[in-house]
Structure 1
Amino acid sequence: MPFPLSSRFSFPLNPPHFCIFPSTVKLVPDLTATATAKKSTPTMSFSSSSSPSPSITNPKKNKNSNPDPQKLTQVLKYHNQTKHSFTNYARGPRGLDWANQPNPFRRYISAILLSLVHFPADNQTPSASAADSAPSYQSVFNSLPPPKPISKSSISQLFYDSLALSAWKTAGFSTWSLRVNPSSGNLHPTEAYLIAPPIESLSNSAFVAHYAPKEHSLELRATIPSDFFPKFFPRNSFLIGISSIFWREAWKYGERAFRYCNHDVGHAIAAIAMAAAALGWDVKLLDGLGHKELDRLMGLETYQGFQIPDTPIKGKIPEIEFEHPDCLLLVFPNGINDLDVNYKELSSAITEFRNLEWKGKPNSLSKEHVCWDIIYRTAEAVKKPLTVGDRFSIDPFPGSGVCSERSYKGFTVREVVRKRRSAVDMDGVTKINRETFYQILLHCLPSGSGGGKNHKKQLALPFRVLSWDAEVHAALFVHRVIGLPKGLYFLTRNEDHFNELKKATREAFKWEKPEGCPNNLPLYELARGDCQQIAKQLSCLQNIASDGCFSLGMIAHFEPALCGRGVWMYPRLFWETGVLGQVLYLEAHAVGISATGIGCFFDDPVHEVLGLTGSNFQSLYHFTVGGPVLDKRIMSLPAYPGPDADA
């Protein structure tokens, strides 16, 4: 039975004629007559997009990078073609084909199911031992607790607090599940795999297993050589692989789905990092490995063979349900600061995984499908190669900045991560004080407390999992923050970009630190004014963007990242926005309010508000934080055991 889909990524079908800066809101006065939308009504169909053609600006600007011009062109073409505008939405289905709604649960038929331990939602584990209690939410941003040993219980807790079901919801004749890790439209394209040494009560051999969230269990896919972990990784460490099923998102969102899948990868990465932190574990991306290595490690190449069509097609295409390997995370005890990963030898060892006996056949998700060919062409273009010269580094754990610890409500990590919800509506009334606003933003900084240095390198929780310097900033629309004037603000998360940002945005912007702003918080006031209507209009006319305490657009250092590192950075920019979004979700709930991601926004009008031109900076994700409106018609049920299989 179809479940209601979150509105945070949806879009109105018939937006009215309007102006970006209505006469009642003159945030930037000289723009009031420049951004009026055309009167035509946007439609969604298989027709070609009206997005502008991509332009490549100096693809060889970094002497250490030589991006393939064809691949770069494909990525820029995808990004421009999937932009929403006032006159044309990105191509997608005309309506929702409920009969072919993808099954949100992947299962490997005939694979052995290994049940994991369930935990109560409060701060106690089943033993009710004080030693097992979850740490407070805000404490893990300052320091990690002593690491737990790998066991069935600790592995269970990691998945329970990161990728498991968090609740079931029911309304009328519909029942649907929620998960700890958020997903656009609650569609959940993200799958996870545990690659681990022998774990007592789970497996006597090193193994690869797929995580089945509905059952909170592991599906044993294969046993692996006993010397694999001792040769490459420290004791008490293991791997988690993440993959995406594009069809789950494309069923609702069409061509823009590739963006949303990678948002969800970022949310999952941050969810794993936070759950690991509660166990005293550190997490790092093994980003030297390439697409082929990840494919073999997770046992996904066995089921591929999808041929990309020349145009969008509809029909029975079961091979479209394949999983695209995204990334591999190393989870290890905190305190290990020196670890050398030999990617060349690791790749050679993974090559032997193709000879393993892989167990289980993936279940079918839909009877019929629609293939949006540009998604798969772009996914092909951004496949990362093996980079044997990459150095795996572990930086010391820095605490995050603190200016108002009393803003938090005293919840444990588990209480925050498992009770997180995406707000469907905001009340338009709730306010937060300035100190709480600053505290939330301090936890959004990549370098933590900074230590007197500029923010750039991603060292703080959970950003330290990522292997590149911060590339994502935030343009904030402040609506209801007590002690802070309404208006447009900017959080610079990589201060090396400050001068470039200041030059790229409007000359009229002030770029002044607001009153009471902590010295180590690079937040700047750009312009004052009531920007509720602007925020709403830019986010596809969704009230949720204007009815919160504040909303924001995540602005990525876009084309320079693709040219400087490689086109495979394209999905990684979305991962970074997802990690930042996850922090906003958790921070909101930790201070007693709520949040939601907004994937539907008018891309280039956002740039126009900021004065951005070209592709050096691009808006990739929107978010809103505020007081939620609860729908009393919807009843909540426990995540486990949950309703029966026919619900």
Structure 2
Amino acid sequence: MPEHHKSIAQHYHDRTKYHPETITAKSQGLDWNKQPVPFKDYKIGTSYDLKPYIQEENLAFSDEPVALWWRRLSRLLFCSYGLTAKLPSMMNPIYLRAAPSAGGLYPAEVYLISRGTPLLPAGLYSYQPQTHSLIHFWENDVWQSLQTACFAHSALEKTNLAIVTTAVFYRSAWRYQDRAYRRIFLDTGHLLGNIELACALNDYRAHLIGGFADEIVNQLLYLDAQQEGAIAVVALADLLDVQQNFSVGITALPSTTQTNYPHIPDGELLGYCHRATQIEPDAEADSSEVTPTTSLEDKYNFPFCLKVPTATAPIDWGLNLEGLERTILRRRSTRAYSGADLTVDELKALLDFTYQPQNYIEQGLDEAPDYFDLNLIETFVAVSGVSGLEEGCYYYAPKAQELRQIRFKNFRRELHYLCLGQELGRDAAAVLFHTADLKTAVTQYGDRVYRYLHMDAGHLGQRLNLAAIYLNLGVSGIGGFFDDLVNEVLGIPAEEAVIYITTIGRQR
């Protein structure tokens, strides 16, 4: 195998970029006869119906300890990934879920692992969104195996429940081919954002675990690793149990960095990259030696630029966060914007909820929710129509809480082109770009960082989604764009790889 200058993660990112000269050749018509089913069905197992615990007529009994326990778990799963709408379609009905997914393909599956509680016996459970139920498909105690797979992560020592999210690769690859790997992890980030907030609504704390031995978790869940792979583990700490209130652990572990790889044909790149980003069971994963990126200052401080403070009053989510739960369940991706302006106060509120969680502790939200390494993610904002804010491209400095202008221009026409001709880019009032220095990130975490970066960007994107919907704004994520031209046109530093785009505006 030849030695390359770039790691497989960097190679994958470069190979899956969209370019104006080649995008037509890469576009293929969809084979509707091979359209994937976005649900996984289990023919055997004990079913636990969760619907009664979210139905209004049964809430009168929710103060009973048993009913309360079930209601909390039911609401957590429903707000994370439950079905929220059914849309008619010429082929099959489209079921929308609480977490957004590129193309409505929903590659993620959600599993619950129980150590064994009086109400939920030990074993493996599959969450079934279409029936809002749990299928207990394996009854043996597997908690020790989970701990082994997660290299004895501290969060699994005292917790009794854990969520594992997986991806069924073909569901996304059917439409997006090799580039689907990006979207799978963005979608997982959306889901993780929902899990984090749904936990807060139900007195749980989500402890995120990204460093695990993939092979062990795949075998634990009886997955066909060629078709489906474990993506993230989330230990659920019950905050009503004082023994489960403990400090945060390490969320990300490094993998190897692979620079020896053969020529990989199109269509095989996704699978090869996923295997290359795995952590082996015999890896020396010492979490005590992992130090997330830390800095007291924001990465970019451009000289002589206009600086706009963004500190503002936090969004009020209402009594017992009722507004947040309603927003999670009514969230929809916007299909068209009117082109009308936002106010600068609305933009500030969006940034505050997304990047300043410490301002929401009094409302019952986590002041420091788990990410893999948020310091690796940068944010740029292209402003086309925000009253009280000059048009142009800005760098958002989350520590200083200010926008720093780097380009002076209205970019509506360019954004239309950069977003592959999607009118969302042209008509949005503001477009946020999440970026990362991929070379530096790989140096710290190996090729597995590619997963972490996209999940963190998706997590941030989901917080933007929810804040925008609550403020009666339109919002939609975009995973398809001309990668290199974004940096060139907007003035974003060339080393910053564009990971995700979120458009925000007034709905048409």
In which range does the TM-score fall when normalised by the shorter chain?
Answer: 0.7 to 0.9
Partner of 1:289: 212
Identity of aligned residues (%): 22
Mark the CA change 1:128 to 1:427 in structure 2 (over 3 Å): closer, same or farther. farther
Check if 1:533 corresponds to 2:413: yes
Alignment gaps of 5+ in structure 2:
254-264, 293-309
Q: What is the CA-CA distance between 1:372 and the residue it aligns to? A: 1.5
- How many pairs align? 459
Aligned 1:126-141 pairs, distance under 5 A = 126-128=58-60
The counterpart of 2:499, out of the listed 620, 638, 641, is 620
Check if 1:476 corresponds to 2:371: no
Quick one: distance in 2 between partners of 1:402 and 1:612? 23
Superposed CA deviations along residues 43-75 of structure 1, whole A, max 9, x for unmatched, are xxxxxxxxxxxxxxxxxxxxxxxxx97695322
The counterpart of 2:72, out of the listed 133, 154, 157, is 154
Partner of 1:184: 102
Partner of 2:466: 586
Mark the CA change 1:548 to 1:295 in structure 2 (over 3 Å): closer, same or farther. same
Alignment gaps of 5+ in structure 1:
1-67, 133-146, 307-321, 345-369, 395-400, 452-459, 496-519, 630-647
Superposed CA deviations along residues 122-180 of structure 1, whole A, max 9, x for unmatched, are xx683158979xxxxxxxxxxxxxx9998322211111111110111125675211000
Q: What is the CA-CA distance between 1:405 and the residue it aligns to? A: 4.0
Quick one: distance in 2 between partners of 1:273 and 1:77? 32
* 8 A Cα contact 2:206 2:235, kept in partner: yes
Partner of 1:5: none
Quick one: distance in 1 between partners of 2:374 and 2:287? 14
The counterpart of 1:74, out of the listed 8, 26, 51, is 8
Partner of 1:432: 342
Mark the CA change 1:613 to 1:625 in structure 2 (over 3 Å): closer, same or farther. closer
The counterpart of 1:383, out of the listed 262, 272, 278, is 278
Q: Which moved more, 1:172-181 or 1:442-451?
A: 442-451
What letter corresponds to residue 127 of structure 1 in structure 2?
A: L
Mark the CA change 1:212 to 1:450 in structure 2 (over 3 Å): closer, same or farther. closer
Superposed CA deviations along residues 252-304 of structure 1, whole A, max 9, x for unmatched, are 1112111111111111111111101111211122234221232233332xx34
Mark the CA change 1:223 to 1:339 in structure 2 (over 3 Å): closer, same or farther. farther
* 8 A Cα contact 1:289 1:387, kept in partner: no
What letter corresponds to residue 473 of structure 1 in structure 2?
A: E
The counterpart of 2:126, out of the listed 176, 194, 210, is 210
Quick one: distance in 2 between partners of 1:90 and 1:561? 31
What letter corresponds to residue 137 of structure 2 in structure 1?
A: R
Superposed CA deviations along residues 593-646 of structure 1, whole A, max 9, x for unmatched, are 1211111110000111244565x31001111012223xxxxxxxxxxxxxxxxx
Quick one: distance in 2 between partners of 1:71 and 1:219? 47
Quick one: distance in 2 between partners of 1:97 and 1:253? 12
Quick one: distance in 2 between partners of 1:114 and 1:283? 22
* 8 A Cα contact 1:163 1:268, kept in partner: yes
Quick one: distance in 1 between partners of 2:348 and 2:327? 19
Quick one: distance in 1 between partners of 2:441 and 2:66? 37
* 8 A Cα contact 1:151 1:199, kept in partner: no
Mark the CA change 1:450 to 1:413 in structure 2 (over 3 Å): closer, same or farther. closer
* 8 A Cα contact 1:488 1:526, kept in partner: yes
Quick one: distance in 2 between partners of 1:412 and 1:217? 25
Q: What is the CA-CA distance between 1:461 and the residue it aligns to? A: 4.7
Partner of 2:114: 196
Check if 1:337 corresponds to 2:246: yes
The counterpart of 2:199, out of the listed 276, 281, 284, is 276
Quick one: distance in 2 between partners of 1:197 and 1:559? 39
What letter corresponds to residue 104 of structure 2 in structure 1?
A: N
Check if 1:418 corresponds to 2:308: no
Task: Please give the TM-score of this superposition, normalised by the length of structure 2.
Answer: 0.81
* 8 A Cα contact 1:241 1:298, kept in partner: no
What letter corresponds to residue 128 of structure 2 in structure 1?
A: A
Superposed CA deviations along residues 293-323 of structure 1, whole A, max 9, x for unmatched, are 32233332xx34x4xxxxxxxxxxxxxxx21
The counterpart of 2:455, out of the listed 571, 575, 588, is 575
Mark the CA change 1:71 to 1:466 in structure 2 (over 3 Å): closer, same or farther. farther
Check if 1:563 corresponds to 2:443: yes
The counterpart of 1:327, out of the listed 223, 232, 244, is 232
Quick one: distance in 2 between partners of 1:244 and 1:462? 29
Task: Please give the TM-score of this superposition, normalised by the length of structure 1.
Answer: 0.64
Q: Secondary structure at the match of 2:22?
A: coil
* CA RMSD, Structure 1 to Structure 2 (Å): 3.5
Quick one: distance in 2 between partners of 1:433 and 1:537? 25
Partner of 2:138: 222
* 8 A Cα contact 2:344 2:387, kept in partner: yes
* 8 A Cα contact 1:273 1:462, kept in partner: no
Partner of 2:301: none
Quick one: distance in 2 between partners of 1:550 and 1:340? 35
* 8 A Cα contact 2:314 2:360, kept in partner: no
The structure carrying a bigger helix percent of its residues is 2
The counterpart of 2:424, out of the listed 544, 562, 568, is 544
Q: What is the CA-CA distance between 1:194 and the residue it aligns to? A: 0.2
Q: What is the CA-CA distance between 1:412 and the residue it aligns to? A: 2.1
Q: Secondary structure at the match of 1:600?
A: coil
Check if 1:106 corresponds to 2:40: yes
Q: What is the CA-CA distance between 1:236 and the residue it aligns to? A: 5.5
Check if 1:84 corresponds to 2:12: no
Pick 1 or 2: higher relative contact order, CA cutoff 8 A, min separation 6.
1
Q: Secondary structure at the match of 2:137?
A: strand
Quick one: distance in 2 between partners of 1:485 and 1:340? 42
Partner of 2:353: 443
Superposed CA deviations along residues 464-509 of structure 1, whole A, max 9, x for unmatched, are 222424211221111222211222111134x6xxxxxxxxxxxxxx
Quick one: distance in 2 between partners of 1:490 and 1:257? 28
What letter corresponds to residue 538 of structure 1 in structure 2?
A: L
What letter corresponds to residue 403 of structure 1 in structure 2?
A: T
Q: What is the CA-CA distance between 1:211 and the residue it aligns to? A: 1.0
What letter corresponds to residue 525 of structure 1 in structure 2?
A: Q
Quick one: distance in 2 between partners of 1:597 and 1:107? 29
What letter corresponds to residue 229 of structure 2 in structure 1?
A: H
Q: Secondary structure at the match of 1:541?
A: coil
* 8 A Cα contact 1:151 1:200, kept in partner: no
Q: What is the CA-CA distance between 1:184 and the residue it aligns to? A: 0.4
Mark the CA change 1:171 to 1:295 in structure 2 (over 3 Å): closer, same or farther. closer
Quick one: distance in 2 between partners of 1:387 and 1:522? 41
Quick one: distance in 2 between partners of 1:86 and 1:521? 36
* 8 A Cα contact 2:123 2:142, kept in partner: no
What letter corresponds to residue 628 of structure 1 in structure 2?
A: Q
